[in-house]
Amino acid sequence: MDRRSLLALGAATAAVAVTGDVASAAENAPSDAALARSLGDFRSAYAQVNGTRLHYVTGGTGSPLVLLPGWPQTWWQFHKIMPALAKRHQVIAVDLRGMGGSGKPDRGYDKKTMARDIHELVRKLGHRKVDVAGHDIGAMVAHSFAVNHPDAVGKIALLDVPHPDDSLYDLTLIPRPGQPFFLWWFAFNQVDVLPGQLLAGRSRLLVDHLCGLMLLDQKNISDRDRDIYAHAYSTPDAVRAGNGWYQTFSQDIADQRTYPRLTTPVLGLISAANYDYVAAAITRHATDVRLVKVANTGHYLAEEQPAAVIDELTRYFG
């Protein structure tokens, strides 16, 4: 057994000591299939693509609209907007490589590879062209999908996050006086093995911390929703996979330097706190841009202001 495996085993043992029987906790968590059914005419499914397995939830009729979530969440972060969007679209909400019910391989967490995952998925589902909306890490993948597979995309929407570029190297770990929060988790997720040891069986603490930082109203992500997200990141393997999205930022930045300016139409839905940075980054890398500052929300737009997000996406995607 190698060093990583030994450390992961130790972390899992510690998690059992802190939280009790892990298998019992898993039995009490709602399955993706049950969650999908709770939204109405949606189903949970899997597809083998690009050397890994992707989990997705789909429902509705009309033009295909792919939804890509972020960290530390899953496809469930779109549950408030999926039924309304499904009135006009076949909605396909995907757990990214390393997330939730999807596979957690050792590599492939750069956004170009993850975009290829999505491209192979939509082809397997029989779609020639799709629209894509992504939040957080999912927004990075959405941008990469559009630039690397332009014939397969109509329009994209980026929710509160741009694709990584050199500006990430200018971010500081030391908050300025009065700064509401700083991105400490960008550095934390660069660390190998230790995050899984610290968070295994305790990921609800992380979920609550990030909600405390980035929700305007704590009730907008319920205890049940937080438990769903915490369960998705409850093992060392799940934490490792999520770390991978951050540990590949340098590769993503290098890839961005080679990309042409995106000509695919882009909608940026951005919270007030992040507006200046995200708007500038999107505009830097795309030519056909519409920017909307979403009022009365923190980072988790689709959960804090679902009606506004539904209205903007419906208007934009048609």
Annotated catalytic residue 231? no
What element of type H or E holds 92?
Answer: strand 89-95
CB 302 within 8 A of CB 80: yes
Annotated catalytic residue 32? no
Of 109, 229, 246, 300, the catalytic one is 246
Please give the Cα distance from 271 to 277 (Å, whole number): 11
Phi, psi at 13, each rounded to 5°: -65, -45
Residue 114's nearest CA partner among 129, 131, 130, 99 is 99
Of 32, 110, 117, 136, the catalytic one is 136
Residue 190: count of CB within 10 angstroms of its CB? 13
Annotated catalytic residue 299? yes
Please give the Cα distance from 165 to 281 (Å, whole number): 8
Cis, bond preceding 72 (omega within 30 deg of 0) = yes
> Cα 54 from chain centroid?
13
Residue 238's nearest CA partner among 211, 216, 207 is 207
Q: Which amino acid is at 135?
A: H
Of 135, 143, 149, 299, the catalytic one is 299
**How is 118-160 classified by DSSP, letter by letter?**
HHHHHHHTT-S-EEEEEETHHHHHHHHHHHH-GGGEEEEEEES
Kindly report the CA angle at 55 between 51 and 56, in degrees rounded to 5? 130
Please give the Cα distance from 75 to 68 (Å, whole number): 7
Residues with active-site annotation: 136, 246, 299
